[in-house]
Amino acid sequence: MPINSTRVEKLRKKKIDGLALKKLIDAGLTWLRTNKENVNSLNVFPVPDGDTGTNMTLTLQSAWNEIKDLGTHNLGEMAAAVSKGALMGARGNSGVISSQILRGFSRGVHDKAVLDVETLVKAFAEARDTAYKGVGRPVEGTILTVIKEIAIATEAALGSVKDAVEMLEVAVKAADEAVKNTPELLPVLKQAGVVDAGGKGLFFILEGMLRHVYGESLETPTMAVQALSAMNLQGALEEVEEGQDYEVVVDFVPTGELDLGLFYGRLEEMGTSIQVGEGEGMYRMHIHVPTENRYVPIDYVMGIGTVTKVAIENLLAQMDDIQKSAQIKFAAVEPGQIAVVVVSPGAGLSRIFASLGVAAVVAGGQSMNPSTQDILSSFENLPTDKVIILPNNKNIILAANQAKEVTVKQVEVVPTRTVPQGLTAMLSLIPDGELASVAEKMTKAMTTVKTGEITIATRTVEIDGVSVKDGQVIALLDGKLALAAESVEQTVMDLLEKAEADQHELITLFYGEGLSHSEANRIADLIRRKYSSLEIEVQEGGQPHYQFIISIE
């Protein structure tokens, strides 16, 4: 990247204090947000719920919110505030590990007024150590490896590097090389043809800081086109900014080759929450804009291609509808009783959980992981100090455990990785029981159910011997890619056969927001004909992206 040498030399001589760190955090966040969809696209499985970029962005945004009005020049004080904000805003495994990296960095500079070379090296080492300690079973080829390689490289450069800016250059280079090497350490990445998403996100944060030093743009993404089926427009509602009143979605076919950098640059002048998807030559543009700009993106796109479909929605009205639909009656909890908090990806599933006796629901799941603060807020005001959390998603377990660590209440996390596991665990709830004993029974119960998930593939890939084409219907069985087919009904039937459904008693189909009740019942009837001895139930789930979540008991 071209360097403004005068600017860099000036910054090299300037002390990096708390306010300078604040600018670096802002730059890292901006560059990560700019390349968020790049990170989201690095999904191992070809499923439309890549959310690592979103999780890391929202985690760092929480850190920024904690310091945006902070004016301290003290480096340690600013770093501590960054750590606090990231801790409470951490979402998903990548967000939680990122918060631990920032926590370690804060420990490394806690008694320092300014950042020198030795302190920066120590901070990276503390970041590595804290991140590894925060994960029960560290896996190499992930964001952990990237922060480790950064620590190793900066320690090796100590003595030959003149200042903190030059050491940041060493860190960015090490991060880049470590990310590129992740497929060699984690075979599933190599099979999928991607690098580690969390590691790439960390690289973008550090690169954004360096670009700020160099005076480079932080607004033009390196890549930001995703598969149409992977676009998470529902998740975009989590990032509605003040003054962005309308959501505009335009489908179009470009007249010529689309200049993505120029396209994004023009959209950024109009609004926020920009997403671009592509499939078979057609593009979909999503943006949030103020009222006076609601037709501007449409006029712009009409000038560069043929518009095939336009949708304009009032965001405030959408948010109001969501809040109204979320009004569910939960179980009353008495002081001393056990309150169960669950994470649920759909309104229908939330109602089912409520009927089983949960005290609170946190909206979230695939593509919309709740933060540590979201989970904490769900039970902090409940009239009991005994709480069980059911994450119902492997990417939320770390955030649930982090919420457990920052509360004074007695909390147990039952590590449910799927919705069916959570529902099965709820059947073992004894509100007046002993907390640890009940949590143990729920943990044992969750292993008695198999989980199937049906969705649409977002790219062509072969993983674990399963070949998948972009746009095919695919099935996951207990979190592993199981098969692909050309229709939802065929995929469901093939999945049930692979899961040995005839050896079980009950199959429950939770249909998603994109499927009608009648279509779900039609497929249920096909299952009844083949498995006449089984009990088949159909329930509205309301989850995004996944046509069915299937419980096999």
User: What confidence score (pLDDT) does residue 12 get?
Assistant: 65
Instruction: Domain 326-448: give its CATH code.
Output: 3.40.50.510
| Residue 228, CA distances (Å) to 174, 276, 301, 487, 496 in order | 33, 8, 17, 18, 28
Label residue 465 left, alpha or beta by phi (over 0 means left) and psi (-120 to 50 means alpha): left
Judged by DSSP in three states, 228 sits in helix
Question: Given 3-state DSSP classes, what are the helix, strand and coil percentages for the chain, each rounded to the nearest 5?
Answer: 50, 20, 30
Write the DSSP string, 255-301. Answer: SS---HHHHHHHHHTT-EEEEEEEETTEEEEEEEE-GGGTTHHHHHH
Average pLDDT of the segment spanning 510-529: 94
- Pairing assessment for the beta strands 282-289 and 360-363 based on DSSP bridges: unpaired
Q: Percentage of the chain with pLDDT > 70?
A: 90
Give residue-wise pLDDT tens across range 91-100. Answer: 999 999 999 9
Which of the four pLDDT bands, split at 50, 70 and 90, describes residue 1?
Answer: very low
The CA distance from 29 to 51, in Å, is 16
Helix 164-185 and helix 117-133, axial crossing angle in degrees, nearest 10? 30
User: What confidence score (pLDDT) does residue 45 get?
Assistant: 75
| Residue 479, CA distances (Å) to 28, 287, 336, 500 in order | 32, 32, 36, 16
Give residue-wise pLDDT tens across range 26-78. Answer: 999 999 998 888 898 888 777 776 689 889 999 999 999 999 999 999 999 99
Task: Specify the fold of 450-552.
Answer: Hypothetical Protein Tm841; Chain: A;domain 3 (3.30.1180)
User: What confidence score (pLDDT) does residue 365 get?
Assistant: 79
Given a contact cutoff of 8 angstroms between Cβ atoms, the answer to whether 255 and 212 are in contact is no
Give residue-wise pLDDT tens across range 204-227. Answer: 999 999 999 988 888 766 655 555
User: What confidence score (pLDDT) does residue 10 get?
Assistant: 64
212, containing H or E segment: helix 197-214
**Cα 141 to chain centroid, rounded:** 18
Q: Is the pTM of this model over 0.85?
A: no
Judged by DSSP in three states, 77 sits in helix
End-to-end CA distance of the chain: give it in Å, rounded.
56
The CA distance from 251 to 90, in Å, is 33
- Burial classification of residue 457, based on how many CB atoms lie within 10 Å of its CB (0-12 exposed, 13-18 middle, 19 or more buried): buried
Which of 46-60, 237-251, 508-522 has the least mean pLDDT?
Answer: 237-251
- As a dihedral over the C-alpha atoms of residue 48, residue 51, residue 54, residue 55, rounded to 10 degrees, the angle is 160
User: What confidence score (pLDDT) does residue 3 get?
Assistant: 56
Kindly tell me the sign of the dihedral angle through the C-alpha atoms of 68, 74, 77, 78.
Answer: positive
User: What confidence score (pLDDT) does residue 273 get?
Assistant: 76
Give residue-wise pLDDT tens across range 396-443. Answer: 999 999 999 999 999 999 999 999 999 999 999 999 999 999 999 999
User: What confidence score (pLDDT) does residue 322 get?
Assistant: 47
Residue 75 amino acid letter: L
User: What confidence score (pLDDT) does residue 237 get?
Assistant: 47
Give residue-wise pLDDT tens across range 438-447. Answer: 999 999 999 9
Given a contact cutoff of 8 angstroms between Cβ atoms, the answer to whether 543 and 512 are in contact is yes
Q: Tell me the domain boundaries of the chain.
A: 5-219, 226-320, 326-448, 450-552
User: What confidence score (pLDDT) does residue 276 get?
Assistant: 82
User: What confidence score (pLDDT) does residue 321 get?
Assistant: 47
CA atoms within 13 A on the CB side of 397: 13
Q: Which residues contact 9 (CB under 8 A, 6 or more apart)?
A: none
Instruction: Domain 5-219: give its CATH code.
Output: 1.25.40.340
CA atoms within 13 A on the CB side of 495: 34
Picking from 362, 368, 352, the residue whose alpha carbon sits closest to that of residue 400 is: 362
- As a dihedral over the C-alpha atoms of residue 13, residue 18, residue 21, residue 22, rounded to 10 degrees, the angle is -130
Per-chain mean pLDDT for the chain = 89
CB atoms within 10 A of CB 314: 14
Give residue-wise pLDDT tens across range 289-323. Answer: 888 888 999 999 999 999 998 988 877 665 554 45
Domain 226-320 matching CATH 3.90.1170.50: the answer reads no
The CA distance from 28 to 211, in Å, is 9
Task: Write the DSSP symbol of residue 394.
Answer: T
Give residue-wise pLDDT tens across range 105-157. Answer: 999 999 999 999 999 999 999 999 999 998 878 999 999 999 999 999 999 99
Q: Which residues contact 362 (CB under 8 A, 6 or more apart)?
A: 341, 342, 343, 344, 370, 374, 375, 378
Picking from 268, 286, 267, 288, the residue whose alpha carbon sits closest to that of residue 276 is: 286
User: What confidence score (pLDDT) does residue 4 get?
Assistant: 60
